[in-house]
């Protein structure tokens, strides 16, 4: 990930202003330690802190069109840049950078080109011919972006809050899938897939189509000119990413450049569930596995740095971000600059515990949609900023646009959790990769029970955080919490502790408004309570109190063979809910 900062129309083109803009841009240097760039056009400033992944030698930013009248600063990766270049044979590209296509696409198509981009991105584009500008963020919000307004009429854009919060009268998160145009003076949504309307899809489940779409999403994310690896917790999502990646590695350019073995990374407390499962998957796949240990005290000592970098006071996000933050530092020390990660699967397929209580497929699907629309505030934010804190880039194949189109078009009846039929959460994804002839994963890993990431790294991690907060937040402080923090009032000492740290770094009212809720977890969502009132009694965001929802069912159905399938072949896809020859539904 890179860091971008733009100041647009600030009515000050002095040297002092340029120095200040550079100073603010340096706050984002952790995101892009490889190079810095600044372009000034009157009172417009575009800056860039580069993490070089594609074309490290010549892809420094800002980037320009041929006559340098269109200037762009970009954070992201455009996976289909080679195909896009072919659409513009008359254009001359200055670099081999994937982001170089954006200025030229604007020349050809104006602001209509956004949906042509396949990737993750945030960018600011300045057209010096008329001093107009565009700002855009990717479909789901994988890359982080904020917008602010100054008293002088200026508009500020930054990859992180820390780049603009001292200078703006008001600021907020830039919404995913949106475009801001100075010509129209407002935001408009450019990403409008069919699932966004939340209408109930009816496409029959085809496991082979789902498998192929995911494999394609993983493979396109191996576009890199630097060493890379995969984050591997041993759960379904990261294990599938690792399995597909390792299969593709053999004989490819990436394999010849970086070695035929994939590197995998896992973090946890000594003896944690994730470490054990990840090692088993790594041994099965033959990856070069790196196992990082941390102690509860290591995590507690890092909390202030985590909150500064992640820019939230949300309880679950901080719990999960801390191990990822520590792991990212270790990964970067090995010389790796890009990793693939498994975020998004739970939102797409209903992987959280409370989805077991969904009353029907309509509500199940609408909740899928709601979770995806909010993902940029939680898991995407965590993955992006925890890795970017150390100049590491995380790519997330489950949030590929084309894969989303396939997965979110499936009739949600197939996503419903039905233990009596051997259908556990994310069953359609597990089923799609259950290949008897050439297994992607061992059966018990393919059907492994879900863990919250913050639990999987070691159960004493959350207990240690609670104990630490108990020592630093008194009962008297909690009594006055609603007066001290009237917005998103903390309801636990742990939440209060995080909030105090956040407010010290980001004291503005706009900053606290960028965090939705402050204790956002699957088990505490209003939808969970609507589906089953007993969820309201579970105040801990980890959801451990509800683990019995499906604990016993796993062992029973796995033992009975209900979670296995026979071979999935091209000639035997599933149609209209009926198992075709060669693809038997068991249980």
Examine the residue annotation and report whether 2 is marked as an active-site residue of this protein. Answer: yes
Q: Which pLDDT value is given to residue 250?
A: 72
Measured CA to CA in angstroms, residue 461 lies from 432, 457, 498 at distances of 34, 7, 15
Burial 507-525 (b: 16+ CB within 10 A, else e): ebebbbebbeebbbbbbbb
pLDDT in tens, 203-226: 999 999 999 999 999 999 999 999
Measured CA to CA in angstroms, residue 154 lies from 20, 43, 149, 151, 182 at distances of 15, 9, 6, 7, 11
Q: Across residues 263-281, what is the average pLDDT?
A: 94
Contact assessment for residue 210 and residue 567, using Cβ atoms and an 8 Å cutoff: no
pLDDT in tens, 23-46: 999 999 999 999 999 999 999 999
Q: How confident is the model at residue 257 (pLDDT cuts 50, 70, 90)?
A: low
Lowest mean per-residue pLDDT among 226-230, 506-510, 519-523 = 519-523
Residue 375 annotated as binding site:
no
User: CA 273, 278, 281: angle at the middle one, nearest 5?
Assistant: 130
Q: Which pLDDT value is given to residue 581?
A: 26
Q: Which pLDDT value is given to residue 577?
A: 32
Residue 141 annotated as binding site:
no
Which residue has 């008359």 as its token pair? 90
- Local structure of 36: helix, strand or coil: strand
* pLDDT score of 582 more than 50: no
Q: Name the active-site residue from 2, 10, 266, 523.
A: 2
Which residue has 């204790």 as its token pair? 519
- Between 167 and 11, residue with greater pLDDT: 167
Q: Which pLDDT value is given to residue 474?
A: 97
* pLDDT score of 135 more than 90: yes
The residues facing 309 across adjacent strands are none
List Cβ neighbours of 443 (8 Å cut-off, separation of 6 or more). Answer: 434, 558, 563, 564
Lowest mean per-residue pLDDT among 62-66, 126-130, 425-429 = 62-66
Q: How confident is the model at residue 249 (pLDDT cuts 50, 70, 90)?
A: confident
* pLDDT score of 292 more than 90: yes
Q: How confident is the model at residue 522 (pLDDT cuts 50, 70, 90)?
A: very low
Q: How confident is the model at residue 530 (pLDDT cuts 50, 70, 90)?
A: confident
Residue 518 annotated as binding site:
no
* pLDDT score of 77 more than 70: yes
- Local structure of 293: helix, strand or coil: strand
Q: Across residues 436-462, what is the average pLDDT?
A: 80
Contact assessment for residue 429 and residue 236, using Cβ atoms and an 8 Å cutoff: yes
Residue 109 neighbours by CB distance under 10 Å:
13
User: CA-to-CA distance for 76 and 380, rounded, in angstroms?
Assistant: 13
Q: How confident is the model at residue 471 (pLDDT cuts 50, 70, 90)?
A: very high
pTM above 0.75, yes or no: yes
pLDDT in tens, 300-322: 999 999 999 999 999 999 999 99
Residue 341 annotated as binding site:
yes
* pLDDT score of 449 more than 80: no
Q: Which pLDDT value is given to residue 143?
A: 98
Report the percentage of the chain scoring pLDDT > 70: 87
Helix (H) or strand (E) holding 323: helix 315-333
Helix (H) or strand (E) holding 329: helix 315-333
Please state at what angle helix 236-249 crosses helix 273-285, rounded to 10 degrees: 20
Q: Which pLDDT value is given to residue 554?
A: 46
pLDDT in tens, 351-374: 998 999 999 999 999 999 999 999
Q: Which pLDDT value is given to residue 200?
A: 96
List Cβ neighbours of 261 (8 Å cut-off, separation of 6 or more). Answer: 249, 286, 287, 288
Q: Which pLDDT value is given to residue 586?
A: 26
* pLDDT score of 453 more than 90: no
Q: Which pLDDT value is given to residue 544?
A: 52
User: CA-to-CA distance for 441 and 445, rounded, in angstroms?
Assistant: 6
Largest CA distance in the chain: 74
Domains of the chain: 3-192 (3.60.20.10), 201-295+307-464 (3.40.50.620)
- Between 162 and 256, residue with greater pLDDT: 162
Lowest mean per-residue pLDDT among 48-57, 74-83, 302-311, 529-538 = 529-538
Residue 267 annotated as binding site:
yes
Burial 59-86 (b: 16+ CB within 10 A, else e): bbbbbbbeeeebbbbbbbbbbebeebbe
Measured CA to CA in angstroms, residue 112 lies from 63, 117, 179, 189, 296 at distances of 19, 11, 10, 11, 49
Q: Which pLDDT value is given to residue 273?
A: 86
């Amino acid at each position: 990930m890179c860091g971008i900062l733009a100041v647009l129309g600030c009515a000050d083109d002095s040297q002092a202003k340029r120095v200040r803009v550079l100073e603010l841009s340096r706050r984002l240097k952790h995101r892009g330690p490889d190079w810095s760039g600044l372009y000034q056009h009157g009172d417009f400033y575009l800056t860039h802190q580069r993490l070089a992944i594609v074309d490290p030698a010549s892809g420094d930013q800002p980037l320009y069109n041929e006559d340098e009248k269109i200037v762009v600063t970009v954070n992201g990766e455009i996976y289909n840049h080679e195909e896009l270049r072919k659409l513009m044979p008359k254009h001359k590209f200055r670099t081999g950078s994937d982001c170089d296509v954006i200025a030229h696409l604007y020349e050809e198509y104006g602001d209509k080109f956004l949906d042509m981009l396949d990737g993750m991105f945030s960018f600011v584009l300045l057209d010096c011919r008329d001093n107009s500008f565009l700002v855009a963020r990717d479909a789901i919000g994988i890359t982080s972006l904020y917008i602010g307004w100054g008293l002088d009429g200026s508009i500020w854009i930054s990859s992180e809050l820390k780049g603009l919060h001292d200078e703006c009268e008001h600021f907020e998160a830039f919404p995913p899938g949106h475009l801001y145009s100075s010509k129209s003076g407002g935001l408009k949504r450019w990403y409008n897939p069919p699932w966004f309307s939340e209408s109930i899809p009816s496409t029959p489940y085809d496991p082979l189509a789902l498998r192929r779409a995911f494999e394609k999403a993983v493979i396109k994310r191996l576009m890199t000119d630097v060493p890379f690896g995969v984050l591997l917790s041993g759960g379904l999502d990261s294990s599938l990413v690792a399995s597909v990646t390792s299969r593709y590695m053999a004989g490819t350019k990436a394999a010849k450049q970086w070695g035929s073995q994939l590197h995998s990374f896992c973090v946890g407390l000594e003896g944690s569930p994730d470490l054990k499962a990840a090692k088993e998957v790594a041994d099965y796949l033959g990856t070069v596995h790196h196992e990082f240990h941390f102690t509860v005290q290591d995590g507690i000592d890092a909390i202030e740095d985590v909150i500064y970098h992640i820019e939230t006071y949300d309880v679950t996000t901080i719990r999960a971000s801390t191990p990822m933050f520590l792991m990212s530092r270790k990964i970067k020390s090995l010389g790796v600059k890009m990793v693939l990660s498994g975020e998004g699967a739970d939102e797409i397929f209903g992987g959280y515990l409370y989805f077991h209580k969904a009353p029907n497929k309509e509500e199940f699907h609408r909740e899928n949609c709601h979770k995806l629309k909010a993902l940029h505030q939680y898991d995407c934010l965590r993955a992006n900023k925890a890795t970017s804190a150390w100049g590491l880039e995380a790519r997330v194949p489950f949030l590929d646009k084309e894969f989303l189109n396939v997965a979110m078009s499936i009739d949600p009846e197939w996503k419903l959790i039905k233990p009596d039929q051997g259908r556990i959460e994310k069953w359609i994804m597990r089923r799609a990769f259950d290949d008897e002839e050439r297994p992607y994963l061992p059966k018990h890993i393919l059907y492994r029970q879900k863990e919250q990431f913050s639990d999987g790294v070691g159960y004493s991690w959350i207990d240690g955080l609670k104990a630490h907060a108990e020592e630093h937040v008194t009962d008297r402080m909690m009594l006055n919490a609603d007066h001290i923090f009237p917005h998103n009032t903390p309801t636990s000492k742990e939440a209060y502790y995080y909030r105090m740290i956040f407010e010290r770094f980001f004291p503005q009212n706009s900053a606290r408004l960028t965090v939705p809720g402050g204790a956002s977890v699957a088990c505490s969502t209003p939808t969970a309570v609507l589906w089953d009132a007993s969820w309201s009694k579970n105040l801990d965001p980890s959801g451990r109190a509800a683990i019995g929802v499906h604990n016993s069912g796993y062992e029973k159905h796995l033992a009975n063979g209900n979670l296995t399938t026979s071979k999935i072949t091209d000639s035997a896809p599933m149609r209209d809910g009926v198992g075709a020859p060669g693809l038997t539904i068991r249980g």
